[in-house]
Structure 1
């Protein structure tokens, strides 16, 4: 069993460097390196890759925050929104990955329609950058205690003793670590599929694989404020929709090719 104490960040003098920020930066560097390699390997425009990444990232932040506010709406005191500190706490804390993914796709779509950027090949060859970045983010979650798992007594359990997010002194399922490992495996498999087997459906397979992983892991989460309806969380409903969407899309694409 792993025990955590204070996991806010590293202090250099009076300056705090959050652990989550450290791993987010590591994820950005790793994702950038993989993206750069893929862009050069398939002779794509590096400038377009950076443009897509920046716009997608911008909309991802907005989307992840908006979905968090939406599913947490019942816990937000509207009367306190005039309080700057209260509003600042809402804006600074809480992000939902699926909201970020939806936001990123909207940003990519804008690049395609407004900036006339061809996105198909970038989604096909560079999609592993998303699970890589996400995996490092989940390591940060594990350290600080957010997105924590349910009570779970086992040798692999995690116990926090001074977390600002997770319940302290309770053995919890290491859901963030399991998700991080799953995301790294998805990224590795996608890279093999893309670089060895042409990766025709790489984007669709990523969406499908992550949706399945997320649906299962939601049963091991312990933060019910994310929204529960008929026994399923908001993320599980999104996962179901994405799985159905991918299956239908691939069937349609294969049918069109046969014709």
Structure 2
């Protein structure tokens, strides 16, 4: 855990904010490279990343308010205008909606571009999860595994364990699953699977898009079993219910666009 990377007088560089900025820059670089290969204008990639960032932040905030309304009403302005209070799924959905609207208004084929854009999101997610690890948030349950990590005194994990009467107030947290790093590694692997194995072998527009939704939903659903989040019906967290919805969306995309393959190809030839 290293929440502050640099402090120069009144200027503080937080690791989470830095990693989020790095995630957007890396996504822009990869997306710009993909579109340059296809002869697209340079500003197209920057516009996509810009609208994805705006939609992602708005979506992440809205989902946090829906999931933790009591925290929002305690300090609504602070929750809206600070970097805290973000929900991952909300960011993905908000960013996707914003990009789809942009592509539609630009008269660009959504599925073909989605297959280019969507795998790169796994890279952004991986970098963002490293930011979570450095900030000490999004950790997992207590674990005795040899790679379990302890967060320092005063960290979110240590405070929670203290309130549960598991440790003294000045002690580090108990060893926990580094779920942030689990997700970072899984996201990198899923990126490679989509880009190196699946996308080159399919000619069906929307297949990569749909499989991203399925992979991302399953990955988060499973990770939630070792995350610390409130549980609801059937012992599942809100993120798991959202994950189920995302997987279903992916399945619907795959089924629908397999049937519409010829129609979608004709649209691509006109673009």
TM-score of the aligned structures, taking structure 1 as reference length: 0.85
Q: Does 1:71 align with 2:67?
A: yes
1:65 and 1:94 in contact (8 A); partners too: yes
Q: Does 1:213 align with 2:219?
A: yes
Match of 1:87 among 77, 93, 99: 77
Match of 1:140 among 131, 134, 139: 131
1:7 and 1:163 in contact (8 A); partners too: no
- Measure, in 1, the Cα distance between the counterparts of 2:96 and 2:208: 15
Aligned to 1:247: 251
Match of 2:15 among 14, 19, 23: 19
- State the shift of 1:182 in Å: 0.5
Q: 1:135 to 1:246 in 2, by over 3 A?
A: same
Moved more, 239-248 or 59-68: 239-248
2:199 and 2:208 in contact (8 A); partners too: no
- Measure, in 1, the Cα distance between the counterparts of 2:140 and 2:203: 34
Q: 1:157 to 1:12 in 2, by over 3 A?
A: same
- State the shift of 1:198 in Å: 4.4
- State the shift of 1:221 in Å: 0.6
SS in 1 for 2:6: strand
Q: Does 1:204 align with 2:210?
A: yes
Aligned to 1:152: 143
Higher strand proportion, which one?
1
Match of 1:61 among 51, 57, 64: 57
- Measure, in 2, the Cα distance between the counterparts of 1:23 and 1:220: 24
Aligned to 1:182: 186
- State the shift of 1:34 in Å: 1.4
2:149 and 2:176 in contact (8 A); partners too: yes
Match of 2:237 among 228, 233, 241: 233
- Measure, in 2, the Cα distance between the counterparts of 1:14 and 1:159: 30
SS in 1 for 2:150: strand
Q: 1:31 to 1:246 in 2, by over 3 A?
A: same
- State the shift of 1:137 in Å: 0.5
Aligned to 2:268: none
Q: 1:206 to 1:34 in 2, by over 3 A?
A: same
| Alignment root-mean-square deviation, CA | 2.4
- Measure, in 2, the Cα distance between the counterparts of 1:199 and 1:192: 14
- Measure, in 1, the Cα distance between the counterparts of 2:241 and 2:210: 18
- State the shift of 1:132 in Å: 0.5
How many residue pairs get aligned? The number is 247
Which runs of at least 4 in structure 1 moved beyond 4 Å after TM superposition? 256-259
TM-score of the aligned structures, taking structure 2 as reference length: 0.82
CA deviation vs aligned residue, 1:35-65 (integer Å, no higher than 9, x gap): 1221122333332222222112101100100
- State the shift of 1:11 in Å: 1.7
